[in-house]
A and B are shown apart, each in its own frame.
Chain A
């Protein structure tokens, strides 16, 4: 895996987070956090439970509005990012607590990820024949490519609610990939998985990063995986940034070690 990582061309900063502070009532989820993400890299965010990792992703794609700071995306400043803006700017994400559309099949969940690319109007869709059907078929082919890539052909018609957890995580990734994002935010994509499932998921993430050039921001608790696949790591603890470096440097950082030993892990 290490070779694949080193062959990629890491580019300029695409996403710059400047002095982000976010509080819920009295709780400071994030205090004055700054870091950047470079094009094509795999950027990990780690930290003990409640450190503010998920909150950080929610700030990046506009689900939460920080009280202070700004998100700079390819040089464009957003004081108020919204989920719609983020989606249109090419940011996709998966969720820590899977947020699939439970009543829909795997295929429909992933097809929904293409909604921004589908242009036929409501009348054309009601008639179906013609533009709407052509569009539906074109996108179906794209979605089938994703289904093949994630190796979930056998469950494409299954309602997602009936799937085991590991497969739901894959479908969640599939829906995000269907957006053909330039930046992909992954919130604990391997939580609750066994070794084999983790290996599959790591492979998918590396392939996406390598073959599509997608920039990846990854939250993960499994240190082995994180050290293995990420280029740079941000460490959060109680809403503060306590480290921001390459895996090797982070591993050696005494503050990080203390935070991890202090929190019962």
Chain B
């Protein structure tokens, strides 16, 4: 079928306001969902789930959260890792301390705690921006790194700050095998992506983007910068917090504060830059790219090296990873600030005209 919107006339504004107004896009997304929920569980092996798919889903969720703040509201954060940690440790505490706390309840309360932390550390954004805000959010990172390592109450007095969660269960469904974990994360990601899309296409999303694009004009039409910015920090940190809790509970099982270091914060920011600022899909492109690239290089580089008769060590591979990331980030920041998502939509625009370029 040719990709066209010809003949698909919108007869109401409601039809025009759908998330995917073009029919082919609706089919594509439906097919993708069916494939993700049914196809992948049949096809993928345990290694794929553990090393690629589950990390991709959880980091994709975290990148989505970061994108709301950075891509949609135009603020900067170097503290995303810290908010993942807040989500993870808060969810852990709710689960361990409250009798009969359901898994989903703990995850959401973890997110809510991260949202509160996000609001507190978002307050500097009302006065400063750019580099100064980056430094302020970096302070959140160091503060929480310290807090979870040193304040024993958070980790139920475990000596190293390491905690663990076992027996994940929801509504009588035990989430044990990699497939079950994958489906659990996928379900949450799909729900959060939908909720986030609704926010960014609605009134609050327009307020965020207005603040991002021209804050004086936004104030003049009655937008309150405090409400817009802090709500972006709250929503963003909530999602990042839930992702952190999933990272701890589902992916790692047991973890210590180092799992949410400043490296993680940078990684999430890079996902958003490479994937596409201000695009929900872009967050997932970015996450997929950053999760898959190291694995791809691990396989491909030694093989390529063999072809030309050079042996490339593991150290060489991991160094090349940094070089490639660095180059890509510079490329996207300078050439295409809207990342892979924009490249994708440009390709679609071309396809819409194909095969007649004019």
Contacts and interface: CB of A to CB of B under 8 A. Distances in A.
B203 A118 contact: yes
Contacts of A113: 221
Interface string B219-255: 1111110000001000100000000000000000000
A75 B198 CA distance: 42
B221 A61 contact: no
Contacts of A40: none
Contacts of B207: 112, 115
Interface stretch (A47-55, A99-107, A241-249): A99-107
A137 interface: yes
Contacts of A132: 198, 202-203
B219 A84 contact: yes
A63 B216 contact: yes
A61 to B, nearest CB: 6
Contact of B214 (A88, A99, A176): A99
Contact of B17 (A95, A102, A118, A136): A136
Interface string B275-304: 000100000000000000000000000000
B221 A128 contact: no
A108 B235 CA distance: 21
Interface residues of A, number: 40
Contacts of A175: 221
Contacts of B206: 104, 108, 111-112, 115
Contacts of A103: 209, 212-213, 278
B214 A63 contact: no
A126 B196 CA distance: 7
Interface size class of B (residues with CB under 8 A): 20 to 34
A141 B16 CA distance: 12
B210 interface: yes
A235 interface: no
A24 to B, nearest CB: 16
Given A84-B224, A115-B203, A136-B203, A101 B214 contact: yes
Given A122-B231, A125-B198, A100 B203 contact: no
A86 B213 CA distance: 21
B40 interface: no
Given A112-B207, A122-B204, A102 B213 contact: yes
A92 interface: yes
A137 B222 contact: no
Contact of A137 (B14, B199, B235): B14
B217 A125 contact: no
A80 interface: no
Given A101-B209, A122-B235, A126-B195, A95 B217 contact: yes
Contact of A116 (B202, B216, B222): B222
Contacts of A61: 220
B13 interface: yes
Contacts of A100: 213-214, 217
B213 A137 contact: no
Nearest to A108: B206
Contacts of A115: 203, 206-207, 210, 221-223
Contacts of B218: 101, 112
Contact of B209 (A86, A104, A120, A122): A104
Closest 7 pairs between A and B when the two form their complex, measured CB to CB: A87-B222, A99-B217, A101-B213, A128-B198, A83-B219, A116-B222, A125-B202
Interface of A: 61, 63, 83-84, 86-88, 92-93, 95, 99-104, 108, 111-113, 115-116, 118, 120, 122, 125-128, 132-133, 135-137, 140-141, 144, 175-176, 179
30 contacts: A83-B216, A83-B219, A83-B220, A84-B219, A84-B224, A86-B220, A87-B220, A87-B221, A87-B222, A88-B222, A92-B221, A100-B217, A103-B209, A103-B213, A112-B206, A112-B210, A112-B218, A115-B206, A115-B210, A115-B221, A116-B221, A116-B222, A125-B202, A126-B199, A128-B198, A128-B202, A136-B17, A140-B13, A140-B17, A141-B13
